[in-house]
Structure 1
Amino acid sequence: MTSSRAARRRHLPTSPFNPPQAAPAPETYALHDQVTHEKYGLGRVVGVEEGVAVIVDFGLPTLRIVAPYHKLVKL
């Protein structure tokens, strides 16, 4: 059985197991949002590719961070 087929299964109301939890929505960022990164520290969002990536200026490096943004936190 492939994982794509397993993802489409519906939860039966009489099942003794808990229903699968929905994945959390990725955080959204706007231009000029102040953010912090575990490795690069404090930065400011200078570009947004909706649902794909954000471009963040950390001072010396300017990096493109792709979604999901695990190590990026909005301040």
Structure 2
Amino acid sequence: MATSPGNKRKHLASSPFQPEPELVIEVYAVDDKVCHDLYGVGRVVGVETHAVAVDFGSRTVRIPSPYRKLQQL
């Protein structure tokens, strides 16, 4: 029986396995300087509920959450 990604199993205290770490989603604000693995250094120009728009100089890119390749400087 497969479980859906939204349903997490409860971690038992007696389990020999470590619980899965919670996914931490970064919070960005307009004018934050960021660095992307593919596009380089840029500046946040727009913030949505599940995405940010980043100006990298040559182009503006909308990056959806979770921001795995995006780091705040």
For normalisation by structure 1, the TM-score amounts to 0.81
Could you say which residue in structure 2 is the equivalent of 1:28? 27
Residues in 1 aligned to 2:32 and 2:8: alpha-carbon distance in whole angstroms: 36
Q: 1:24 deviation in Å?
A: 2.3
Bigger Rg, structure 1 or 2: 1
Could you say which residue in structure 2 is the equivalent of 1:12? 12
Residues in 2 aligned to 1:12 and 1:34: alpha-carbon distance in whole angstroms: 41
Could you say which residue in structure 2 is the equivalent of 1:62? 60
| CA-to-aligned-CA distance 1:6-37 (integer Å, 9 cap, x gap) | x443223333x224223221111000000011
User: Which stretches of structure 1, 4 residues or more, deviate above 3 A after TM superposition?
Assistant: none
1:28-47 correspondence to structure 2 within 5 Å: 28-47=27-46
Structure 1, unaligned runs of 5 or more: none
For normalisation by structure 2, the TM-score amounts to 0.83
The structure in which a higher percent of residues are helix is 1
**3-state SS of 1:4 partner:** coil
Two-structure CA RMSD over aligned residues (Å): 1.8
Structure 2, unaligned runs of 5 or more: none
- Give the number of aligned pairs: 72
Identical columns (%): 50
